[in-house]
Amino acid sequence: MVAKDASLPNAAIVRDEARDLDHDRYLAALLAPAPARDALMTVAAFHGEIARIPTSVREPAMGAIRLHWWRDTLGGEKTAEATGSPVADRLRYAIESGALPIGDILSIVDAYETLLQPGALADAAALDAFLDASQGAAFRLSARILGVEEANARGIIGAAAQAYGRVQLLRALPLLLAKGHDPLAREPVQDWAPVVQPILARTRQSLGEVRRLMSVASLTLRTAILPVALVEPYLAALERLGSRIASEQAGISPLSRVWRIYFARRRGRL
């Protein structure tokens, strides 16, 4: 398990960013063993920072510049100077100390850049790869922090990334479209049902696979993928939107979110 490093400042800032930018992982981190919480909060804040870039810029070049800063800061030359970002400083320390692998961290940066490219995820294989490189990498980092052996986690993390990643991508779709980014289609879409329905169907299939594998997964591994407890209510919210799925963001109540995460952790099942 990756222990927190008390010498690094701004833990409260990182925790606040995790809460604001990736609330599901923030809640999961609160329920994790205390020595791992700071590191899990850092991963949540980082993933949230990167995931919001495509939904907050209209010009792809501007998004690429911001993502390049993260790529260069975390994967470039080592330096003792602070970056100005508490999240980046903590991640850089974890990379340089060997606590977290640079590969999965940069995978998240590279994956979210594809959302700036029209139709980049129109093919099923491209969508699968994106979800593994984004949500899958974030789950792998969480598992690493909690001390889970990678060989024991591969199957369930892969299924978790496909289930949780799909609902999060569809929840982000209205925000992406509002900024002029449509990674799911190469041509303008009049009817979203043929695009969305296969994604929803694969979500249910992947969630079933996660639940099957949960029966033989350790409690620690279940903690690493705890946000998957929210896939089912997100699915229900997305399905209720119907034709409005591309114009309104699906959400669930804050209380439902907390209770779903809490009971999944307590009972060890989704």
Please check whether residue 2 lies inside any domain of the structure: no
Please check whether residue 28 lies inside any domain of the structure: yes
- What CATH number does the domain containing 139 carry? 1.10.600.10
Output 150 or 62, whichever has higher pLDDT. 62
Please check whether residue 1 lies inside any domain of the structure: no
- CA separation, residue 146 to residues 10, 48, 50, 192 (Å): 22, 20, 22, 39
Please check whether residue 203 lies inside any domain of the structure: yes
- Read off the pLDDT of residues 226-254 as tens digits, 9 standing for 90 and up: 999 999 999 999 999 999 999 999 999 99
Structural domain tally of the chain? Answer: 1
SS (H, E, C) 25-58: HHHHHHCCCHHHHHHHHHHHHHHHHHHHHHHHCC
Say if CB 245 and CB 173 are below 8 A apart. Answer: yes
Q: Look-up: residue for tokens 């209209």?
A: 58
- Read off the pLDDT of residues 67-95 as tens digits, 9 standing for 90 and up: 999 999 998 766 667 788 999 999 999 99
Please check whether residue 223 lies inside any domain of the structure: yes
Q: Tokens in use for 120?
A: 């980049």
pTM of the model: 0.95
Helix (H) or strand (E) holding 106: helix 102-113
199: Cα separation from own chain's centroid: 17
Please check whether residue 4 lies inside any domain of the structure: no
Please check whether residue 263 lies inside any domain of the structure: yes
pLDDT at residue number 5: 52
| Boundaries of domain holding 64 | 11-76+85-267
